[in-house]
Amino acid sequence: MSKEAKFLVYCMERYRHFKGLSGSEVAELFEKYGIYDYITKYFEALHTMGDDYIIQDIDDYINSIKEA
């Protein structure tokens, strides 16, 4: 498994924990809003950040798509 894939799983688990969601709910949300591609694209920057920042960044990205 690549380091990007491992980090993606980590982000999914942290998001699930912070938001109180099931794994399938997170997978559906990440698929719907393209979070998989977003995390992979910005891996180099995101993997240096803490959990709070990552969760907020994902929420900000989702909200930017909803508002568009």
Rounded Cα gap, residues 30 and 62, in angstroms? 9
Give the domain range for residue 37. Answer: 3-67
Number of structural domains in the chain: 1
Residue 32: pLDDT over 80: yes
Residue 3: pLDDT over 80: yes
DSSP assignment letter at 41: H
Q: What is the mean pLDDT of residues 16-38?
A: 97
Residue 24: pLDDT over 90: yes
HEC states along 36-59? HHHHHHCHHHHCCCCHHHHHHHHH
Residue 9: pLDDT over 90: yes
Q: How many CA atoms lie within 13 A of 41 on its CB side?
A: 7
Question: Looking at residue 68, what is its pLDDT?
Answer: 75
Residue 67: pLDDT over 90: no
